[in-house]
Amino acid sequence: MPKSHYAPSRFQVIFAALALFAALVVAGTAYYFSGQIQTATSTGTALVGGPFTLTDQDGRKVTEKDFLGKYMLVFFGYTYCPDVCPTELQVMAAALDSMGAKADLIQPVFVSVDPERDTPELLKQYVENFHPRLMGLTGTPDEIASVAKTYRVFFSKVENSTPDAYLMDHSTIMYLMDPQGRFLKHFTYTNDAEGLAKALNQAISG
């Protein structure tokens, strides 16, 4: 019998390559962040968080000192994000809503990794869709690069054929900072609202 030769289509080859690349990026980001947490634990010094200067959705300059006295629940993303960001912000909002008065101890924060498009005005419209207390922060490219480095956040522009229609690759980790601005706990993309609320309750009651 003649041998059968299966030749994968060009689309299948490209799709497989992209899937492998995405898996490597996710794995690499998780490994990198895990290493930072282990280092912080072994030295007793938090390696996540620190000084920053950004602009909120009302155009006011804010720094890390403006959040002292409250827990910060921080997520990095961008308003043009098609899936991960709105999903995570919905989870964050639902978790806070289910916590009752305890949620008042936590300031939810959304930091843009797309300063070219995410103006304060656009952020204001965006964050109002999720939670009335959600604060949106943006800044200059240098300011965003600085705060991302401080929080060990990965982000990179994915170039597209249309300059204004690009996507951003970015970390999908949510950070809980304590009232002194120190790293307390992180949450991954796999958390649902119920699980996040439970973990937040435990963290701020401990």
Calculate mean pLDDT across residues 156-183: 90
Is the pLDDT reported for residue 33 higher than 70? no
Residues 6+ away with beta carbon under 8 Å from 79: 85, 112, 114, 117, 118, 122, 123, 126
Q: What is the mean pLDDT of the chain?
A: 83
Q: Which two tokens stand for residue 43?
A: 């030295």
Calculate mean pLDDT across residues 9-37: 40
CATH class, domain 48-205, is alpha beta
Q: How confident is the model at residue 47 (pLDDT cuts 50, 70, 90)?
A: confident
Distance CA 107, CA 154 (A): 23
Ranked by mean pLDDT, the top range of 131-135, 161-165, 185-189 is: 131-135
Domain boundaries in the chain?
A: 10-45, 48-205
Strand order in the sheet with 71-77: 61-63, 53-56, 135-138, 106-112, 71-77, 174-177, 183-187
H or E stretch at 19: helix 10-43
Dump pLDDT digits (tens) for 88-124: 999 999 999 999 999 999 999 999 999 999 999 999 9
Q: Which two tokens stand for residue 189?
A: 């993309």
pTM of the model: 0.79
Q: How far is CA 25 from CA 85, 98, 155, 166, in A?
A: 18, 33, 11, 18
Q: How confident is the model at residue 205 (pLDDT cuts 50, 70, 90)?
A: confident
Is the pLDDT reported for residue 31 higher than 90? no
CA 10, chain centre distance (Å) = 34
Distance CA 77, CA 55 (A): 15
Dump pLDDT digits (tens) for 55-74: 999 999 999 999 999 999 99
